[in-house]
Structure 1
Amino acid sequence: MSSLTLDRPRSPVVRPGTRVPHAIVIGSGFGGLAAAVRLGARGYRVTVLEKLDQPGGRAYVFRQDGFTFDAGPTIVTLPQMFEELWSLAGRKFSDDITLKPIDPFYRLRFDDGETFTACRDPEAMRREVGRLSPGDVDGYERFMAQCKPIFEVGFEQLSSQPFNSVLSMAKLLPELFRLKSYRTVHGLAASYMKDPRLRIALSFHPLFIGGNPFTTTSIYCLISHLEREYGVWFAMGGTGALVKGLVSLIEGQGGTIRYNEEVSAITVEGGAATGVRLASGETLSADIVVSNADAAWTYKTLLPAEVRRRWTDKKLARARYSMSLFVWYFGTKRQYRGVPHHTILLGPRYKELLRDIFDRKVLAPDFSLYLHHPTATDPSLAPPGCDTFYVLSPVPNLASGVDWAHAAEPYRRAVSDFLSRTVLPGLEENVVTSRIVTPQDFHTRLRSVLGAAFGFEPVFTQSAWFRPHNRSEEVDRLFLVGAGTHPGAGLPGVLSSARVLDSVVPHGADLAGNP
């Protein structure tokens, strides 16, 4: 596995007998858990407050009828970022977590039944491109060559930068222009590929982080290089094994995680965050507060309007929010051995469907789906002879006005019928357990504004400096991590947001002993 160099933060020294500074982390998604580990390594006493009854946030784990369902992220694309967290806590990642490579990465199934299989081997990818469109092999090579410097700048250089000033953004504009970041992801892929199917296959990735390939800046083409260079991995036991491992690190550092504790407000005095008030009425004081809650929710709901100068209610109302998701988790009493770990099933429309989802906010009768089949890799996630699945459909957020209490079951049946006709024959009669998550759940359960599954949409004007900063622009000693802040959604993104804290949060030793 290729190595990605990650600079290690300086470990502070706190003198015996001094007061250990207290950090409160709101939310236990991957961003919050990673932030807690980093703060613990930097000399803080950490308390994580979680609204739900177990950790994970969007990476919550549902267990029912002997089946295990990872609610959110399903793969790891940069294991080095987890390895670093374990190292900061004095542990070895491989002692706790077993990663298995997923190769092929995924299979795309077009509406006419044609398929495209993406894998890590460059020669196999050239053959697959050539099978669909012999004249596009050279263009594919040039596209991948372009993705490498995009990754080197877009991820290696930018993802851990705090972007506290507009000047920090301005300095990068010439480089971003050279990399054609003014183009969209689909636009850049289309400039190299002629076949419309290959244009889709090389540009759909922003949908994994809440972006429309036709509007998301081409800087996100870095995902194509990231997959080839570092591979796609699955944590045995499911993504929940990673959550459990991070919780163990935090507790091993002396940190605490409190469940069923919803934060109703961040307390502010003298222009600085001083702690939080819980829905129960209890108030907790802290030297710093880190919010892993939805960034828009943090500003709209947790901070009083009088301290907000940039992220006002008016600005938040004008912001562009990501699409939402309809997710059906189901277990079957039979196994579907020919179905790979990841399948992307495209419907009859592509650009028009995305326009319905992102712009028109219309729940269309057709859809494109992502089918996750974890028991293809880890049979322990289902009872013997059974299979675990979830199928995800991008849908408009709650600005659509859809009443999901009535729409959910008809939509599920349509998805089930489609899967039965394509890759899971006889599905409905084989389903033995079922669970649905809708945009309303993202709003009610996860406190996402408009039920947006990924926070702010990752268009250029809502990226880097334009995104909510990791160090709050509104009050001192408040910091943000997670999908809604810089650099954005996806596991590498939210882990990077926690990594930014190393450059913007004071060392625990610097606060030790202060009142």
Structure 2
Amino acid sequence: MDRKIHIIGSGFSALAASCYMAKEGYKVTVLEKNNTLGGRARQYKKDGFTFDLGPSWYWMPDVFERFFADFGKKPSDYYTLDKLNPGYEVYFGENSSLKISENLDDIYKMFEQEEKGSAKHLQTFLDSAKANYETAILDLVYKPGVSPLELVNTTTIARVTQFFSTIRKQVRKNIKSPKLIQILEFPVLFLGAKPNNTPAFYNFMNYADFGLGTWHPRGGMYKVIEAMVSLATSLGVNFKVNANVKKIITNKNKTVSGLLVNGQEIKTNLVLSGADYHHTETLLDESLRQYSASYWSKKTFAPSSLLFYVGFDKKIENVSHHTLFFDSDFDAHAKEIYDNPKWPTDPLFYANFTSITDKTSAPQGKEAGFFLIPIAPGIEDTEELREAYFHKILDRFEKLTNQEVKKYVIFKKSFCVKDFEQEYNSYKGNAYGMANTLLQTAFLRPKIKSSKVNNLYFTGQLTVPGPGVPPALISGKIASELIIKKQH
């Protein structure tokens, strides 16, 4: 067997897979359509400011450690991590915010101050979350999603009821404070679904939050991409940027025989796509696509986002590195994303200011601001709408944090639905992939191995295990393991 593989895309899952395949002795070529590596995790630099264009949260440090350990390395061989304290801050209204400490005892105290008796309930909840985390991370999420039997073992059988209850029911059973409820329901947003549609088993995200903490790689999340590229290069991976794959060529035996890249045919008999799954299938003849247009249209997708990267000519006050603005109705905003897709009337939003922690991301005395509004995928996207929402959230930001910021804007760059489609071929311009609802978990997600084309595989946020950076690293590992197993 010719041990060559072409990988489409260079996001976290594709880079992880490239390392595992190269380690196994494959000659690996990574094809990236854009002019820099990293997929959605690219970087934007302007006038001495540096922004991560995509992922900005570093959670589950153990998953990163496990990835590098597979190659005899440690994250610290490549980048320096700082644990954030507070991990993040949440605004609920003017002069009303709560900070999530890096210390679990402090979190218990904060809960108890906010609602008498809640610390005891939080402790029980986190005991369950930790047990689920260990079950998930040590076992379940490293399964390839081939069979329902992957989910069946003595540990999961004992937790089966948690797959049929929801995070919302579990959180609200004992906690009554609206603020504490929002803090506990927030982490599942990383899974791309509403708390009332997310199985209670996924409370392991709360352990990732309170138990493992929030971290920041000095220099930004792009340092992780640079680390993975460095590791891959040392293993012999070949990278090609500005390499736009327009067609996956197959022979009469329904086997991959080549790729059409920038108008030229490259011969290959093994392809792994870390690009958008739906888009990748459009590169095949229609008869060779596993999933129809109606299949995709019926799926619950994670939100898209309206993002702003802003350089400020002052230091921003009364905020933390990660700051969430939950001063509007969470359920109303969620309905306008999932149930009745439209531009949100009064959106929740998130801001991060890496330059509070990391002096490399802005010139002295200035601040780098990243703002994110979750929105429905596939909705209208115009410059006028972007501008209107920029003013809408900055007006609220000024009021909530009690300071003027608009007049200190040096520049801003926006990124929204059209950009996700154009830059990443993202289905309906979604930002995070397919939501982890009960009917879109594990073996119920699109398959890693194509059922119609021999030697075509998929990795990333639309297949197993799901959205997020740590799951992307895991997806790259399980996809490469499945390929190696099938090829031998």
Tell whether the structures are fold-level matches, with TM greater than 0.5: yes
**Structure 2 match to 1:358:** 338
**Structure 1 match to 2:324:** 344
**Structure 2 match to 1:273:** 256
The answer to whether the 8 A contact 2:187-2:209 is kept is: no
Change (3 A) 1:272 1:172: farther
CA shift, 1:327, in A, is 0.6
- 1:308 equivalent to 2:286? Answer no
What amino acid is the match of 2:234? G
Give SS of 2:40's match.
helix
Q: 2:371 aligns with which of 382, 391, 400?
A: 391
Q: 1:211 aligns with which of 187, 193, 198?
A: 193
CA shift, 1:85, in A, is 4.0
Matches within 5 A, 1:481-500: 481-500=459-478
CA shift, 1:273, in A, is 2.7
Matches within 5 A, 1:402-441: 402-423=380-401, 425-441=403-419
Change (3 A) 1:403 1:230: closer
Query: Following the alignment from structure 2 to structure 1, what is the Cα–Cα distance between the partners of residues 258 and 434?
Result: 25
**Structure 1 match to 2:115:** 133
Q: Deviations over 1:58-115 (max 9, x none)?
A: 1110111211010111132233433444444555431321111112211111135422
Give SS of 2:383's match.
helix
Query: Following the alignment from structure 2 to structure 1, what is the Cα–Cα distance between the partners of residues 337 and 155?
Result: 30
Q: Deviations over 1:41-63 (max 9, x none)?
A: 11111111111110111111011
Give SS of 2:389's match.
helix
What amino acid is the match of 2:350? Y
Q: Deviations over 1:468-496 (max 9, x none)?
A: 12223332322221111111111111111
**Structure 1 match to 2:41:** 59
Matches within 5 A, 1:236-315: 236-269=218-251, 270-278=253-261, 280-299=262-281, 301-309=282-290, 311-315=291-295
Deviates more, 1:54-63 or 1:81-90: 81-90
Q: Deviations over 1:256-275 (max 9, x none)?
A: 11111111122223233333
Give SS of 1:484's match.
coil
**Structure 2 match to 1:317:** 297
Gaps spanning 5+ residues in structure 1: where?
Answer: 1-18
**Structure 1 match to 2:441:** 463
The answer to whether the 8 A contact 1:42-1:507 is kept is: no
- 1:158 equivalent to 2:140? Answer yes
The answer to whether the 8 A contact 1:323-1:395 is kept is: yes
CA shift, 1:136, in A, is 1.8
- 1:480 equivalent to 2:455? Answer no
Q: Deviations over 1:235-281 (max 9, x none)?
A: 10111111112111222222111111111122223233333222x22
The answer to whether the 8 A contact 1:361-1:396 is kept is: yes
CA shift, 1:166, in A, is 3.6
**Structure 1 match to 2:61:** 79
Deviates more, 1:209-218 or 1:457-466: 209-218
The answer to whether the 8 A contact 2:306-2:414 is kept is: yes
The answer to whether the 8 A contact 2:353-2:368 is kept is: yes
Query: Following the alignment from structure 1 to structure 2, what is the Cα–Cα distance between the partners of residues 303 and 185?
Result: 39
TM-score normalized by structure 2? 0.94
Query: Following the alignment from structure 1 to structure 2, what is the Cα–Cα distance between the partners of residues 274 and 131?
Result: 64
Give SS of 1:485's match.
coil
CA shift, 1:197, in A, is 1.8
Change (3 A) 1:36 1:413: same
Query: Following the alignment from structure 2 to structure 1, what is the Cα–Cα distance between the partners of residues 200 and 190?
Result: 14
Query: Following the alignment from structure 2 to structure 1, what is the Cα–Cα distance between the partners of residues 382 and 452?
Result: 35
Query: Following the alignment from structure 1 to structure 2, what is the Cα–Cα distance between the partners of residues 232 and 30?
Result: 19
The answer to whether the 8 A contact 1:143-1:192 is kept is: no
Query: Following the alignment from structure 2 to structure 1, what is the Cα–Cα distance between the partners of residues 70 and 138?
Result: 20
The answer to whether the 8 A contact 1:370-1:391 is kept is: yes
Query: Following the alignment from structure 2 to structure 1, what is the Cα–Cα distance between the partners of residues 111 and 92?
Result: 14
What amino acid is the match of 2:310? F
CA shift, 1:502, in A, is 4.5
The answer to whether the 8 A contact 1:336-1:424 is kept is: no
- 1:381 equivalent to 2:370? Answer no
**Structure 1 match to 2:106:** 124
Gaps spanning 5+ residues in structure 2: where?
Answer: none
Give SS of 1:364's match.
coil
The answer to whether the 8 A contact 1:109-1:116 is kept is: yes
Matches within 5 A, 1:210-229: 210-229=192-211
Query: Following the alignment from structure 1 to structure 2, what is the Cα–Cα distance between the partners of residues 461 and 36?
Result: 30
Matches within 5 A, 1:167-186: 167-169=149-151, 175=157, 178-186=160-168
Query: Following the alignment from structure 1 to structure 2, what is the Cα–Cα distance between the partners of residues 213 and 113?
Result: 27
The answer to whether the 8 A contact 1:471-1:479 is kept is: yes
**Structure 1 match to 2:178:** 196
Query: Following the alignment from structure 2 to structure 1, what is the Cα–Cα distance between the partners of residues 444 and 159?
Result: 17
Give SS of 2:338's match.
helix
**Structure 1 match to 2:129:** 147
Deviates more, 1:268-277 or 1:185-194: 268-277
CA shift, 1:157, in A, is 1.5
What amino acid is the match of 2:245? V
Query: Which stretches of structure 1, 4 residues or more, deviate above 4 A after TM superposition?
Result: 87-92, 169-174
CA shift, 1:196, in A, is 2.0
Query: Following the alignment from structure 2 to structure 1, what is the Cα–Cα distance between the partners of residues 260 and 158?
Result: 42
Give SS of 2:35's match.
coil
Q: Deviations over 1:280-320 (max 9, x none)?
A: 22122334211111122222x123221234x1223122222
TM-score normalized by structure 1? 0.89
- State, as a whole percentage, how many aligned pairs show the same letter: 26
